[in-house]
Amino acid sequence: MNSFELNKIAGAVLFCLLIIMGVNQFGNMLIHPKTLAEPAFKIEVAEEAPKGGAPAAAEEQDPPVAGLLAAASADAGKKAFGKCAACHSVDKGGPAKVGPNLFDIVQSPKGHMAGFAYSDAIKKTEGAWTYENLYTFLKNPKAYAPGTKMAFAGAKSSKERADLIAYLRSLSDSPKPLPN
């Protein structure tokens, strides 16, 4: 093989490489690969609690839950419950999912589902699931019960929480009286 043949071979190899790169580029021009701007399916997850400082102090004061409940809509609450339904069943005797079943939760003791592995965080909080406690818990679960397993960022809107509670209240054989 003389050097002229070698040159020809080298030339052919280079030429092939150029063609391959060209085709690749051309392909990219034809098909614009796009990444989704937002994930196709979103799950709301609790944000990290800010370190130090008192975040609650900066937030606006919520109106009392009693007044909101008087005007709350269980139907709207049922719709809003879409964001809870991945983790909670609501039918009587329904199974635990990621979270416990929520039938008859209003005015029940904390950790009301027998056999569910609750975190200590929930059990350590005071009192039963009163309207007030649900209202505060659902706003920011991690602030109400630091260390809770409920990975939900919270429903910031007080009206939405009142609707949710009205819906939870309806999940009972005998719904508890509304607060005065």
Q: Nearest 5 degrees, angle CA 177-CA 171-CA 162?
A: 65
Q: How far is the CB of 35 from ligand HEC (least distance, A)?
A: 26
Should residue 118 be labelled a site residue for ligand HEC when binding is judged by CB under 6 A? yes
Tokens of 67: 């007044």
Residue closer to ligand HEC, measured from CB, 99 or 140: 99
**Touching ligand HEC, residues 82-111 (CB under 6 A):** 83-84, 86-88, 98-100, 102, 105, 110-111
Should residue 172 be labelled a site residue for ligand HEC when binding is judged by CB under 6 A? no
CA distance 55 to 59: 7
Residue closer to ligand HEC, measured from CB, 149 or 159: 149
Greatest distance between any 2 Cα atoms in the chain = 103
Should residue 149 be labelled a site residue for ligand HEC when binding is judged by CB under 6 A? yes
Q: Give the count of beta carbons closer than 10 Å to the beta carbon of residue 31.
A: 7
Q: How far apart are the first and last CA of the chain?
A: 102
Q: Nearest 5 degrees, angle CA 155-CA 160-CA 166?
A: 115
Tokens of 51: 């370190």
Residue closer to ligand HEC, measured from CB, 125 or 178: 125
Should residue 155 be labelled a site residue for ligand HEC when binding is judged by CB under 6 A? yes
Should residue 119 be labelled a site residue for ligand HEC when binding is judged by CB under 6 A? yes
- What does the binding site for ligand HEC look like in residue numbers (CB under 6 A)? 83-84, 86-88, 98-100, 102, 105, 110-113, 118-119, 121-122, 129, 134, 138, 148-152, 155, 164
